[in-house]
Amino acid sequence: MLSSCRLTIATLLRVFRGRVSLTWAMILCETSLTALIPLFIGFAIDGLLAGETRQLLQLAGLMATLIVVAVIRRVYDTRVYSTIRVELGKEQAERSADLPVSALNARLGMGRELVDFLEETLPEAMAAGVQLTIAIVILYAFSPVLALAGVVAATAMVVVYALFHRRFYRLNGALNQQTERQVAVLETRQARPVSAHLLRLRHLEVRLSDTEAVLYGAIFIVLLGLILFNLWFATRELVITVGTIFAIISYSWEFVESALALPVTLQSWSRLSEIMRRLNAEDAGAPDQIPRCAPPTWRGA
């Protein structure tokens, strides 16, 4: 079902679009329900302080619905993405039959990272996008200034990541190249080449980790500024209840948590861009053009 197609995220989405679309629909439903919880907690607080329980029951109903959707979605996801991994691995093995075992072994692992991106990183990014949107809308309802602060923080994060993109791409490429040599090095059964290989991997992993540390340090500074500003503005400039203050701080923090998915997704994409280039290189037997691959006929999970 993947024959004659370039092995990319776009190809996997096109070939398996029916099942992936259903998982995404459930993700959007789950995320929307999750994003509403802080607001309903705020309503419940104000209701209980006024001696009412109706808002508390609404919160309980919302959380029960969320649990049902979340469980069904996870059970379904496992079956869909495990099938995609199998089909992708079979196609890689067929195309790369002439590659050294070391390179083929490494690329099979890299191919699984494409599916991991679809199953984990991309849904998290989608969920974060929904949560960011809801957080901005609700903060705007309290005050446009709070929403504007969130938009400024998100823009600053994108600018910060843009400064690191090329470095991530280059380091991931070097790490993947070294990983492809691992089996061949181990087959020598000589201490010095194995030691040099492991030290090279360690060196590249440390450089990647250090780059991530600097990136996330800069991003956390931006997000900390957002939290402090919204807290100051809400308590000094607005006339609100205890429940409303809780909702404002909760959505400001939710914005921070959701915003962190942005650099994670961009960093993953930097790595996947290098992996897709590697998987579709001439020595992997990939076609030059991406045809429109027909979706598979499913007979069961």
- Is residue 231 domain-resident? yes
- Is residue 214 domain-resident? yes
- Is residue 297 domain-resident? no
Residue 252 has, within 13 A of its CA and on its CB side, a CA count of 26
How many domains is the chain partitioned into structurally? Answer: 1
Res 280: pLDDT: 78
- Is residue 3 domain-resident? no
Per the structure, the complete domain to which residue 109 belongs is given by 9-284
- Is residue 31 domain-resident? yes
- Is residue 153 domain-resident? yes
3-state secondary structure the chain: CCCCCCCCHHHHHHHCHHHHHHHHHHHHHHHHHHHHHHHHHHHHHHHHHCCCCHHHHHHHHHHHHHHHHHHHHHHHHHHHHHHHHHHHHHHHHHHCCCCCHHHHHHHHHHHHHHHHHHHHHHHHHHHHHHHHHHHHHHHHHHCHHHHHHHHHHHHHHHHHHHCCHHHHHHHHHHHHHHHHCHHHHHHCCCHHHHHHHHHHHHHHHHHHHHHHHHHHHHHHHHHHHHHHHHHHHHHHHCCCCHHHHHHHHHHHHHHHHHHCHHHHHHHHHHHHHHHHHHHCCHHHCCCCCCCCCCCCCCCCC
Query: Residue 27: which CATH number?
Result: 1.20.1560.10
Res 90: pLDDT: 82
- Is residue 293 domain-resident? no
Residue 7 has, within 13 A of its CA and on its CB side, a CA count of 34
The DSSP symbol for 296 reads: P
One pLDDT digit (tens) per residue for the chain, 301 residues:
666 677 888 888 888 888 889 998 998 888 888 878 878 888 888 888 888 888 889 899 999 999 999 899 988 988 888 888 888 888 877 777 777 776 777 778 778 888 888 888 888 888 788 878 888 888 888 888 888 888 888 888 888 888 888 888 888 888 888 877 877 787 777 888 888 888 888 898 898 889 888 888 888 888 888 888 888 887 777 766 777 777 777 778 778 777 777 777 877 887 788 788 877 765 454 444 444 454 544 444 4
3-state secondary structure of 184: helix
- Is residue 4 domain-resident? no
